[in-house]
Amino acid sequence: MPTTESADNDQLFVLTAVLLTPAQFPSVLGDDYPEVCAGLGLEPYAEGYGLVLGQDGDGARWTVVTEDVSLVACAIAAWDCGMEYDLSPDENSIVGALPGWPLALAVAAPGVPQPHDPEPQEGDPAPLAPPDAEEWGPAQRRLGADEIAMQWAAWREQVEGDITFAEPGDEAHKGVRRVLEEARGYVNDPPPAGRVRSSFAAGEARTLRVDGPGWSMVARTDDIAFVLLDEEPGEVHPVGRGPELPGLLSSLDELAARPV
C-alpha cells in the first residue's frame, strides 16, 4: 500500500497515484490527453505527469502533480505487486497541489479526519471532483470501454456466430458506421494525443483503445472490435473483422500512443 510521505513541504498521506501521459491516463476524465489536462488546468506536455492523490493532516483531499513520471510509474508497479514503495516526489519536480481528487477513492488515510475538500483560499481553483458516472454518458461510456479492454476474453466469449463489418453503404447500424468512418479519418488526419492508444495483448497482438466525440472503440489487432455510443445507453456493438477492419486496426496501431 502507499505510505505516508511529504510533498511541497506539507505532509501528505498518499493513498494512490495514476499516470497522466498521452498513452496512459484515467479514461473517465476525457476522450484524449489534452482534454484531461485541460480539465485539470495543466499544459498537455508530451512527457506527461504523475498524479498523487492523498490527504493532509486535516484530512483534506489533495492531488499533487509531479513531472517525475518514472517515479510514479515505479510506485504503481510496486504496489500492483503488493510491495511497499515510498512515493515522495522531489519538490523540484512538483508542478502544483490541486485541491480535491479527480477520481473517486474508496479508501482514506488512517488517523486523520474523513476526506473532505480543503477550505478555499483566495485565488485557489475549485476543488477537483470525479465525473458523474452514475448516469450513462461520456464518463460511463469510457468506463465501459475500460472494462471490455480489461476483460477481453470474457466479452469475446459472449460473441457468437458471424459478425458483419459495418460498411458505409450497407444496412448496418448507423452509429457503428459513423464510428468506423471517423476512425478511418484518424489515419489521414491524426487526432489529439491519446485518442488512439495501444497496449500489450496476448501473443503478438495489441489492444487498441480509440475514442471520439460520443463514442469509444476497443479492439485487438488480431480480432474484432467493440463499439459503445453515448446515444445508446449500455449497448455494446461487436464489429467483425470482415475485409476492412484488419487494415484499419493496423493503421490505427501505427499512429497510436504507446506506454514507454
pLDDT digits (tens, 9 = 90+) for 168-227: 445 568 899 999 999 999 999 999 999 999 999 888 899 999 999 999 999 999 999 999
Do residue 206 and residue 249 come from a single domain? yes
Residue 221 domain flag: yes
Do residue 202 and residue 166 come from a single domain? yes
Do residue 215 and residue 104 come from a single domain? no
Do residue 122 and residue 166 come from a single domain? no
Q: What is the pLDDT of residues 50-77, one digit of tens each?
A: 999 999 999 999 999 999 999 999 999 9
- From 131, 146, 172, the end of a domain falls on 131
Which pTM was predicted?
0.89
Do residue 116 and residue 57 come from a single domain? yes
What average pLDDT does the chain have?
90
Identify the residue whose cell numbers are 453503404: 169
pLDDT-derived band at 121 (thresholds 50, 70, 90) equals confident
What is the distance, to the nearest Å, from the Cα of residue 240 to the centroid of all Cα atoms in its chain? Answer: 25
What is the distance, to the nearest Å, from the Cα of residue 171 to the centroid of all Cα atoms in its chain? Answer: 33
Sheet (strand 10-20) strand order: 4-7, 10-20, 49-55, 61-66, 94-99
Predicted confidence at residue 159, as pLDDT, reads 82
- From 131, 149, 177, the end of a domain falls on 131
Residue 18 domain flag: yes
Say whether pLDDT at 118 is over 70: yes
Do residue 127 and residue 143 come from a single domain? no
Residue 161 domain flag: yes
Predicted confidence at residue 251, as pLDDT, reads 97
Residue 260 domain flag: no
Number of domains in the chain: 2
Do residue 126 and residue 31 come from a single domain? yes
Do residue 149 and residue 85 come from a single domain? no
Predicted confidence at residue 202, as pLDDT, reads 84
Do residue 10 and residue 91 come from a single domain? yes
* Domain span including residue 210: 138-255
- From 131, 148, 180, the end of a domain falls on 131
Predicted confidence at residue 43, as pLDDT, reads 97
Do residue 142 and residue 127 come from a single domain? no
Do residue 157 and residue 37 come from a single domain? no
Q: How far apart are CA 200 and CA 71, in angstroms?
A: 21
Predicted confidence at residue 6, as pLDDT, reads 42
Q: How far apart are CA 47 and CA 73, in angstroms?
A: 13
Q: How far apart are CA 150 and CA 82, in angstroms?
A: 20
